[in-house]
Amino acid sequence: MVLLGIVIIVAGFLLRFHPLLVILASAIVTGLAAGIDPLAILSALGKAFNDARYVSIIWIVLPVVGLLEANGLQERARGLIGKMRGATAGRFLTLYLLLRQGLAAVGLTSVAGHPQTVRPLVAPIAEAAAEAQAGDLNDATREEIRAMAAATDNIGLFFGEDIFLAIGSILLIKGLLEQYGVVLEPLQLSVWAIPTAVAAFLIHGFRLWRLDRRLRR
């Protein structure tokens, strides 16, 4: 009877019900089938939500970003980059890459990201810098710059976070190696992540330099 929760999850996803409702129903049915008191089930659900309450921060961030965009955030960002002499899309994205990697390396992985910074700020500023270089942009070039802005955020985060000792990926690697008898401290793993991060910065920086060259042409 305890496995009824799995049946509910499968059926709910097949019928395309709301995932949160399906999981909630599955948890309640599983708890009741296991003979757990309803108040204990409610307490367990409340504790799980409280422990993972940072997940709900996104519902606060997104409306704030929307309000800022509606009140001219992108236009002001474009105007600011237009006043800077020598600013190019590649140089700006290289600076953002350095910032993203540096913040991720000290554990601040949630400071920036696609919804918080790339969509409302980084991509529009990069587009404005590209327009200053090459004039009006066609749709293909505009989409390429947006994709490059998103890729810059991904690369900075992915190769920067492993330098931080307490990040999940470092702990996962440590646990996996210990299963095969290889005992390493998190510091040893994070130190060896530094050359990889430097290489990623140089390689992607070269790609951004090539982007500037194409825009100048």
- Assess whether pLDDT exceeds 70 at residue 5: yes
Residues 38 and 72 in one domain: no
Residues 116 and 171 in one domain: yes
| Average pLDDT, integer, range 117-129 | 85
Residues 195 and 144 in one domain: yes
Q: Residue 186 sits in which domain range?
A: 60-216
Residues 14 and 87 in one domain: no
What total of structural domains would you count in the chain? Answer: 2
The mean pLDDT of the chain is 82
Give the pLDDT confidence of 54-110 residue by residue, as tens digits: 455 555 666 666 666 666 666 666 666 666 667 788 899 999 999 999 998 888 888
In the structure, what pLDDT confidence band is assigned to residue 51 with cuts at 50, 70 and 90? low
Residues 164 and 66 in one domain: yes
Q: Percent of the chain at pLDDT above 70?
A: 82
pLDDT in the model for residue 215: 87
Residues 124 and 212 in one domain: yes
Residues 85 and 132 in one domain: yes
Question: Using CA atoms, how far apart are residues 180 and 95, in angstroms rounded to an integer?
Answer: 40
pLDDT in the model for residue 83: 65
Residues 204 and 100 in one domain: yes
Residues 44 and 76 in one domain: no
- Could you say which of 28, 51, 74 is where a domain stops? 51
Residues 11 and 74 in one domain: no
DSSP state letters, the chain = -TTHHHHHHHHHHHTT--HHHHHHHHHHHHHHHTT--HHHHHHHHHHHHHHTGGGGGHHHHHHHHHHHHHTTHHHHHHHHHHTSTT--HHHHHHHHHHHHHHHHHTT-TTSS-IIIIIIIIIHHHHHHHHHHHHSSPPHHHHHHHHHHHHHHHHHHHHHHHTTSTT-HHHHHHHHHHHHTT----HHHHHHHHHHHHHHHHHHHHHHHHHHHHHHH-
Residues 13 and 111 in one domain: no
Structural contact between residues 94 and 202, judged by C-beta atoms closer than 8 angstroms: no
Residues 70 and 162 in one domain: yes
